[in-house]
Amino acid sequence: MQFQVRFHDRLCGVLSIEDERMQFAYDAAYLAGGGPVLSVAMPLRAQPWPDAQVFPFFENLLPEGLLRELLASELGTASNNFERLLAATGGDVAGALSLEQTPQSLNTPHVSAAGDALSEAALGEVVERIKSHPFLVQNPQGMRLSLAGAQNKLPIILDDQGMVRLPGNRPSTHILKPPSERFTALVENETLCMRAAARAGLRVPPSWLVPFRTANDTLRHGYVVQRYDRRPLPDGSTQRLHQEDTCQILGIPSARKYTQDGGPGFGEVFRVLRRFTVPAAVQQQELVRRMLFNLLIGNQDAHGKNVSLLHTDGQVVLSPAYDLVCTEAYDGLSERFAMPIGKAWQWRELNDAALDDFQADTGVALRRQAGVLRRFIDKAAEAVAQEAAALQREALPESHATLAQIARITQRHATQLKAWLI
């Protein structure tokens, strides 16, 4: 099976899949025109790129784990049938790409109008539907949407009045995450952590709580975040911006995104920043602060797929932060860091040796900037406290205990982190 791969709606090349092995060849006209690279790991060249580089890149565009299995079941296929999964979901993946198995035109893609604005009740129906129909792959609007990750989510358009619309096959502008049936106040948790990160000075896209009503007219909230890989244009259309995560760059399938499973650690991630981003020193400093912020809020799930590069305005930079959540607020989740700090996998192992090992792995000496980093920790902890208080006035009462718990976790970790960085 072959897919036409578009980059900013321009034919970029052809993805071929045969016996679960992939190959990508840049289009000759695209090469002649010097188009942007598909990936920093796959520069422009006439020779096709082989499965070793191509498979991890495209496989990482798909949803993961149980969500991929549910999607495959909905499509009546196997979870390793990448042809079917990409055909169903490849129209609006992360970044500037779109995949078409049989495009109507190689130059002018068909774009339908976005759907009507959804009332709270209608949005509630959509939220209920995606539990069993991930990404609404059978939607009559012809939506072909995918976002990598294990948590159910839906790409949407949020209009100028703040109303949610289904995008059809237009580029989506925002991501909607519904409430979790397993983890209490997960959407409020992520909203708090993302807003606090922004207040602390990290680069983070705006996020909202959006109300909807269930079938029994119960008011609930979904989490909506603006897509940083989309840019509104003056004519009202939306431009895709390209991005790729570190697993795609390093050729690591999504099932191995955790360091303990063979995924990237901080050493590999910092080397990616030094090799590909400009100015690299600024991007590295941002990543150091994000690492500390994840430690501060108790996010033990900050893995390699949560670090991406954004291709914008002719430069490659660290993308804005995303998926910031306090996992420590929930019993039963792993207490091990997704990426160790040196050889430290847990809080009790953060000692002088961890600082030395982290410097050896990454080339970053945290001790030399201890004063600056301790001030950042104070600022970030205060940001969490302020945003928790503000969000309690906005969120439903059943989330208040979780928000207060996150604030307490953060204060405790702030004390521990500052003592570690002395």
> Rounded to an integer, what distance in angstroms lies between the CA atom of residue 349 and that of residue 329?
20
pLDDT along the chain (422 residues), means of 10: 92 93 97 94 97 96 85 86 89 87 49 74 91 54 41 84 85 92 94 98 97 96 96 89 96 95 97 96 98 98 96 93 96 94 97 97 97 98 98 97 98 97 88
Q: Are residues 216 and 246 in the same domain?
A: no
What is the pLDDT, as a whole number, of residue 133? 65
Whether omega before 279 lies within 30 degrees of 0, making that bond cis, reads yes
> Does 107 map to a domain?
no
Q: Are residues 260 and 381 in the same domain?
A: yes
Beta-strand pair 219-226/164-165? unpaired
Q: Are residues 187 and 131 in the same domain?
A: yes
Domain boundary among 213, 232, 251: 232
What is the pLDDT, as a whole number, of residue 136? 53
Domain count, the chain: 3
Backbone angles phi, psi at 217, to 5 degrees: 70, 25
DSSP string, 204-255: ---EEEEEEE-TT--EEEEEEEE-TTEEE-TTS-EEE-EEEEHHHHHT--GG
What is the pLDDT, as a whole number, of residue 104? 47
Domain boundary among 100, 135, 159: 100
> Rounded to an integer, what distance in angstroms lies between the CA atom of residue 147 and that of residue 62?
6
What is the pLDDT, as a whole number, of residue 230? 93
Residue 273: its H or E element? helix 266-276
> Does 109 map to a domain?
no
Domain boundary among 175, 208, 232: 232
Q: Per the residue annotation, which of 229, 245, 301, 323 is the catalytic one? A: 301
> Does 108 map to a domain?
no
Q: Are residues 200 and 220 in the same domain?
A: yes
Q: Are residues 254 and 320 in the same domain?
A: yes
Give me the residues paired with residue 7 across strands. 10, 97
Question: What order do you get walking across the sheet with 10-18 strand by strand?
Answer: 21-26, 10-18, 2-7, 97-100
What is the pLDDT, as a whole number, of residue 302? 95
Dihedral over alpha carbons 115, 228, 87, 152 (to 10 degrees)? -80
> Does 144 map to a domain?
yes
> Does 333 map to a domain?
yes
Q: What angle do CA 81, 169, 101 make, to 5 degrees?
A: 40
> Does 124 map to a domain?
yes
Q: Are residues 391 and 291 in the same domain?
A: yes
Q: Are residues 164 and 228 in the same domain?
A: yes
Residue 301 is among the residues annotated as catalytic for this protein: yes
Alpha carbon 342 to its chain centroid, in Å, reads 24
Q: Are residues 254 and 394 in the same domain?
A: yes
Q: Are residues 281 and 383 in the same domain?
A: yes
Helix (H/G/I), strand (E/B), else coil: 13: strand
Q: Are residues 271 and 397 in the same domain?
A: yes
> Does 237 map to a domain?
no
> Rounded to an integer, what distance in angstroms lies between the CA atom of residue 187 and that of residue 346?
25
Nearest CA to 196 out of 30, 15, 380 is that of 380
Q: Are residues 257 and 389 in the same domain?
A: yes
> Rounded to an integer, what distance in angstroms lies between the CA atom of residue 140 and that of residue 223?
25
Q: For residues 344 and 264, is the Cβ–Cβ distance under 8 A?
A: no
What is the pLDDT, as a whole number, of residue 106? 41
Q: Residue holding tokens 């928790």? A: 388
Q: Find the CATH number of the domain harbouring 388.
A: 1.10.1070
What is the pLDDT, as a whole number, of residue 118? 94
**Domain hosting residue 183, numbered range:** 120-232
Q: Are residues 180 and 305 in the same domain?
A: no
pTM over 0.85: yes
> Does 105 map to a domain?
no
